[in-house]
Structure 1
């Protein structure tokens, strides 16, 4: 491997939030050693998508999906994320004759002994000889990526007054909801904080944010100096994080909280309406708070500092160390 770049395949169902975990980890490896990254997207025919991983066969793959049957040469490193990838990840070591080092992020909850390394969120409580626990999830945020995104949006962001408050809003999930009344209450609290500080707003929604919640928040927040991204054009999230003095994140997303904590900027956690006991999210936020990165939003934009979270790089170093042992 030392004589040529490391061949890395990033495998997921292609959804941005899922793919970015594996891609961010691959990019972190590539920052440490020469590497070539290829993205492979796995999709199953709708009739079979919800079947248990153990029941899926390659004949069930959707047209256009990555298909292992067409592989001529397997990579050095397979980094996969998400349920769709599991039926393949569990068999890669066999298909490659042991050549490929298989990394699965998140808790697979199925055949955990079939992966060389599982990079799992510490808040999931997974343990095992092949498990590396990290705070939150792997991601693509780096200081260089944030600063590199800034120029494309400078005309929109640079004139805005400080403190600039980036707000990352999630939405409906298995554990949380964002009904219009709660969204309106959050918007009022955010607006009061921004107005009291004579600052400005930089807001993005996720794909899970209900339309009614967006409308309720926009009714109050659109009066503030700033930018509420409407989803059209290039995504300004990285530029917003680069420009922000404070970051507010709804409590429903481990990805968003981890990304925010990697910036070294104050992270304020916004409450959602819980559908069930949010155990793992409570553990994650407690971890980030213990590291000095995050605090519950109390309506004040009080600045503080901490060492940025670098768990993606730590996981990348662990992968390379394991590869050298092989």
Structure 2
């Protein structure tokens, strides 16, 4: 349904960032999605350069000289005081991404991943994973594929032999495709030597060989994407782009809310684990999966700017 009205001047949004790329990508995903529906002017404010503390909140003190916002948004615990202070001083509405460490009722809106089990409230939207800035692609190519490799983490181990066996199986089954394979900063360095020439139709990149934005650009073209299970953010980004997504198994060290979220995506047939693909050599069909857009529409509806379907 259309917007109820379109403002003449852009909405001004202060986007508080804390230097963590993942947090910034969440906020960016939301502001970009809002900009698809109405004019938006986003102002990035780095709290490392403009620290805002408890006394600023208490004294209603905001040492910032920017056009007054209608909304303030931030992801990460370090942005919470900035959000609340800006809300109190400027009367802007606050939008917190991820489960806040402060009471959720202190914020106007909260966009919280389902795996964090948010308490149902009128001002809370449960999202499938964290938001991201990937745009759904209109140019996916079934002949192009991407493999994204993570590394060991607190919940996942690493098994070179297991991983390489899976990669070789997928590559052998898709000789008609061209593949781009990238490691990450967490990937053990020795694995790069083992897979550098893994297949003639695959190009392998180390994390330090790919420029900023490389993954996003690849996801705009790859019709098929495989991601190691430890890299849940990459799984969500691949789903958002619209690809068919497979999961390369790595050893699980523990089960928790994150592994449960992956299992739920598999149950919903959004993701295909390698063992299941191995049986039929077929990935589950791509799903419409754009949580930033859904969040933007929900916010506009809450604000009376969107007529719900």
Q: Look up the match of 2:223.
A: 245
Picking from 301, 309, 316, the partner of 2:296 is 316
Does 1:132 find its partner at 2:130? Answer: no
1:216, CA displacement in angstroms?
1.6
Deviation at 1:13, TM superposition (A): 1.3
Deviation at 1:252, TM superposition (A): 2.3
> Which of 235, 241, 245 is residue 257 of structure 1 equivalent to?
235
How far apart, CA to CA, are the structure 1 residues paired with 2:181 and 2:191? 14
- What's the counterpart of residue 154 of structure 1? none
Match of 2:135 in 1: 142
5 Å matches for 1:35-54? 35-43=40-48
* 8 Å Cα contact 1:204-1:228 kept in structure 2: yes
Question: Is 1:196 aligned with 2:189?
Answer: no
Report the CA distance between 1:56 and its aligned residue: 5.6
Change in 2 beyond 3 A, CA 1:229/1:40 = farther
2:22 to 6, 9, 17: 17
**Alpha-carbon contact 1:266-1:304 (below 8 Å) kept:** yes
> Which of these residues, 131, 150, 155, is aligned with residue 170 of structure 1?
150
Q: Partner residue of 2:113?
A: 121
Cα distance change on mapping 1:308 and 1:218 into 2, 3 Å = farther
Deviates more, 1:112-121 or 1:73-82: 73-82
Q: Distance in 2 between matches of 1:94 and 1:137?
A: 26
The alpha carbon displacement at 1:221 in A equals: 4.8
| 1:222 matched to 2:215 | no
Does residue 78 of the first structure (1) align with residue 72 of the second (2)?
Answer: yes
Question: Which deviations, in whole Å up to 9, do the C-alpha atoms of 1:20-77 show, x marking residues without a partner?
Answer: 01101110001011111222222289xxx9xxx9x86669xxxxxxx94123543111
Gaps of 5+ in 2: 1-5
Aligned to 1:62: none
Runs of 4+ more than 6 Å apart: none
What do residues 136-187 of structure 1 show as CA deviations (whole Å, max 9, x unaligned)?
111111135x75xx9xxxxxxx9xxx74331122224333343xxx134202
The total of aligned residue pairs comes to: 289
Whether the 8 Å contact between 1:90 and 1:111 is mirrored in structure 2 is: no
Measured on the aligned residues, the alpha-carbon RMSD in Å equals: 3.0
Alignment partners' CA distance in 1, 2:197 and 2:14:
42
Q: TM-score, normalised by structure 2?
A: 0.82
Per the alignment, residue 3 of structure 2 pairs with none
Evaluate the alpha carbon distance shift between residue 229 and residue 216 of structure 1 in structure 2; reply closer, same or farther with a 3 A threshold: closer
Per the TM alignment, residue 280 of structure 1 is displaced from its structure 2 partner at its CA by 1.5
